[in-house]
Amino acid sequence: MNSPAARHDRMAARRRTRHRAERRFRMLGFLAVWVGLGFLAVLFAVIVDKGAGAFKQTMVRLDIAIEAPGMGPQGTIDWNAMLRMDTNAMIKKALRAAFPDAGSRREKRALYQLVSPNAPFELRRLILDNPDLIGRSATVWVTASDDVDMLAKGAVPRSAPADARRLSDRQVRWIAALEAEGRLETRFNKAFFTSGDSREPESAGIAVALVGSLYSVLVCLALAFPFGVMAAVYLEEFAPKNRWTAFIEVNINNLAAVPSIVFGLLGLALLLNFFNLPRSSPLVGGMVLALMTLPTIIIAGRAALKAVPPSVRDAALAVGASPVQAVFHHVLPLAMPGTLTGTIIGTARAMGETAPLLMVGMVAFVVDVPETILSPATALPVQVFLWADHPERAFLERTAAAILVLLVFTCAMNLLAMVLRRRFEVRW
């Protein structure tokens, strides 16, 4: 039993068992990676499928007689009269001219529902930008209603029974006639990126949310990055190792795991109620996000400083540099890639937070794009939250599109972190 041949066979059997276990481990790891990528691909595919339609908008072409407003002295245009022009009546008249078979009042109301309620405002802006159209008949493209948009893009099947869609059979026939005459087109939805929120889904955009998110992130970085780097440098390089610093380090690690809504409650109680800062402003939102991001930057900065070899410090001190000079001239620049990576990852996480921004009032209905960090605004995650609560199918489409934009921003920031890591990383 204890012969060399038997011992060799037992060792070979154990070696084969170990190799099989290693192959199973590698196979399971490979399978786990591909399962995760598969779920991620399915998630992206579902979001793209549901949100791609929001980047297109259906437009209706109408032949509109632009009525001349009252004229000012010496034949000048009375701009006040232009602002009071009944563009709604002009659009209704053009629709009646296109479909004279709509005779009853009920049929006319159904006909007017083919265009967006915001179409009169679009026509007024067009006339104000082009006063030479006054008194003429012009071909104008106006935004179709959300129901027409959904039907034209195939989100609502035309073969569905009338009680399963919001458009009547008569309205569907009118839409088919518009398509046959080339009066219905689906174009790139530029307004989705240039307009603010709206109660009409066909006119709703993410411009306010984009600018609000940008301002909030800039405020977050302006506060969190310098304070986080300074705290990391002090705790890692200069702070004495005692119970007080150990207590601080434990609490910093705990703050990184605190639920985000707690920071929102802190911002509500301290920034809004005590300091009376402007509600719904990117300034307050950015300060709350900075409180969330600060522990991540401190932890990443300390890890990056700890990764710098002690020989760098020793060499700087040996040639006469002071401890402060050794840290800020030699150690910190070498640790900056890791610090920047942690900063960008923490900021990307903060950019997707909703709960703290809800608590500080960035859930307001805002139409105008904010001009400063003190203007009322909302943010992309909050805009997604608001649109997801609407029952209209077009708002669900825009919700998915806003999620796509948010994912693109988040992926871009993570890609930037990877590029900075590879660009500035020093291998020891």
Residues 193-223 pLDDT 10s: 999 888 899 999 999 999 999 999 999 999 9
Q: If we measure between CA atoms, which residue out of 170, 111, 194 comes closest to residue 145?
A: 111
pLDDT for residue 162 is more than 90: no
Which range (135-139, 161-165, 336-340, 402-406) has the least confidence? 161-165
Angle between helices 207-233 and 282-307 (to 10 degrees): 40
pLDDT for residue 73 is more than 70: no
- State the pTM of this model: 0.85
In this structure, the number of other CB atoms found within 10 A of the CB of residue 4 comes to 7
The single-letter DSSP state of residue 57 is E
> CA 120 to CA 116: how far, in whole Å?
8
pLDDT at 417: 75
Quickly state the pLDDT bin for 428 (edges 50, 70, 90): low
Sign for the CA dihedral angle at 282, 285, 288, 293 comes to negative
Query: How far are the Cα atoms of 61, 186, 287, 292 from residue 276, in angstroms, in the given order?
Result: 50, 47, 14, 21
pLDDT for residue 164 is more than 80: no
pLDDT at 83: 67
Q: What are phi and psi of 184, to 5 degrees?
A: -130, 120
pLDDT for residue 257 is more than 60: yes
What number is the average pLDDT over the span 246-273?
89
Q: If we measure between CA atoms, which residue out of 124, 174, 125 comes closest to residue 145?
A: 174
Quickly state the pLDDT bin for 366 (edges 50, 70, 90): confident
Quickly state the pLDDT bin for 79 (edges 50, 70, 90): low
Distance, CA of 111 to chain centre: 36
CB 180 within 8 A of CB 152: no
CB 174 within 8 A of CB 111: yes
pLDDT at 42: 92
> CA 321 to CA 329: how far, in whole Å?
9
Which range (97-101, 195-199, 263-267, 416-420) has the least confidence? 416-420
Pairs from 259-262 (Cβ < 8 Å, separation ≥ 24): 259/355, 260/292, 260/353, 260/355, 260/356, 261/355, 261/356, 261/359
CB 151 within 8 A of CB 158: yes
pLDDT in tens, 81-134: 666 778 888 999 999 999 998 888 899 999 999 999 999 999 988 888 888 888
pLDDT for residue 258 is more than 90: no
pLDDT for residue 32 is more than 90: yes
What number is the average pLDDT over the span 240-259?
88
CB 110 within 8 A of CB 102: yes
Q: Is 143 helix (H, G, I), strand (E, B) or coil?
A: strand
CB 233 within 8 A of CB 298: no
Higher pLDDT among residues 131 and 362, named by residue: 362
pLDDT at 427: 61
Q: Locate 213 and state its tokens.
A: 């998110």
Q: Locate 103 and state its tokens.
A: 């005779």
pLDDT for residue 72 is more than 60: no
> CA 354 to CA 111: how far, in whole Å?
40
CATH homologous superfamily of 207-424:
MetI-like (1.10.3720.10)
Q: Report the Cα–Cα distance between both ends of the chain, in Å, rounded.
A: 52
Which residues are CB-contacts of 57 (< 8 A; sequence separation ≥ 6)? 143, 144, 149, 186, 187, 188, 189, 191, 192, 202
Q: Is 109 helix (H, G, I), strand (E, B) or coil?
A: helix
Quickly state the pLDDT bin for 297 (edges 50, 70, 90): very high
Higher pLDDT among residues 73 and 18, named by residue: 18
Strands 56-65 and 184-188: antiparallel
Which residues are CB-contacts of 144 (< 8 A; sequence separation ≥ 6)? 57, 58, 59, 60, 114, 115, 116, 152, 184, 202
Higher pLDDT among residues 78 and 175, named by residue: 175
Q: If we measure between CA atoms, which residue out of 355, 394, 6, 358 comes closest to residue 167?
A: 394
